[in-house]
Amino acid sequence: MKSTFAFLALLIALPGSAAQLTLELDHTSKTWQTAELLARKDVQTVQVPDDVSYKRTMTYRAVPLAALLSGLKPENHLQAVALDGFAAELSAAPLLQTDGARAWLAVEDPAHPWPALANGKPSAGPFYLVWTDPQAGHISPEQWPFQLSGIKQLKTVAERFPALRPDPTLAANDPVNQGFAVFQKNCLACHRLNGAGDAQVGPDLNVPYNPTEYFSGDFLKRYIRDPHSLRHWPQAKMPAFAVSVLPDNELDLLVGYLKHMAGRKQQP
């Protein structure tokens, strides 16, 4: 009995579980421990109204992400990888901004853990990419990856995954190529297409069928705007894309890209 009480006392005495975030850039690599990040001189208390994951105002201890990405250029490309396999493809440009829509790495303090995302679910920690004034940059829900384990610099999506590319004869400013950019920002974190991509959350958007082949009329646009308005089940994860995040013209471009890719199927 004494040994049991001693074991329980040891568990109670142990500090909350800390974590580490791996940062892999072309010019440098570093693993940050929770305590190191919370001890930085530039850590701040940040209030985030209408947090994408918690659906309410949240307050975090956070580090300006631009400070951790020193040496990157706006044209560089990053991937934020979560513990559950979510892989957010991120252009460096908005992450390096120091005004307007601003990116922060929120750090969960083991002594003051964040609330659970839902009953039976963990929190958004240990690390969470959050934004202040996201409306200023049309920041997508997919640009708020939580439960982060690492951020790494990669080649562009088009270079890494040729199966995602539209017809190469199209002009760079063709609406289909513009839709490809919208797809990368809003969809690629959860979905693959033609088997290409790193996501492990949602279904492939081209094989065996492209959603433009089975959603008639404006139902696909309605589904993207608010998935739960058309179908709902307890495990559904797809967020709604409000007009403030995905303007109507960008939604049209996205659907145009998907229609184009329905004619460019490639088996994984």
> With bands split at pLDDT 50, 70 and 90, how would you rate the model's confidence at 13?
very low
Q: What is the tens place of the pLDDT at every residue in 137-179?
A: 888 888 999 999 999 999 988 989 999 999 999 999 999 999 9
- Enumerate the CATH 2.60.40.420 domain ranges in the chain, comma separated: 159-262
Cα distances from 172 to residues 52, 176, 181, 197, 254, in angstroms, run: 32, 9, 11, 21, 15
What is the CATH code of the structural domain delimited by 17-154? 3.90.420.10
Read off the tokens for 174: 């063709």
- Enumerate the CATH 3.90.420.10 domain ranges in the chain, comma separated: 17-154
Q: What is the tens place of the pLDDT at every residue in 208-264?
A: 999 999 998 889 999 999 888 877 666 667 888 888 888 999 999 999 999 999 999
Determine whether 205 is exposed, middle or buried from the number of CB atoms within 10 Å of its CB (0-12, 13-18, 19+).
buried
pTM of the model: 0.74
Q: Give the chain's mean pLDDT.
A: 89
Read off the tokens for 134: 């996201």
Pairing outcome for strands 148-154 and 20-25: parallel
Q: Which CATH superfamily is domain 159-262 in?
A: Cupredoxins -  blue copper proteins (2.60.40.420)
Determine whether 62 is exposed, middle or buried from the number of CB atoms within 10 Å of its CB (0-12, 13-18, 19+).
buried
User: In this predicted structure, what is the pLDDT of residue 170?
Assistant: 95
**Is 60 exceeded by the pLDDT of residue 14?**
no
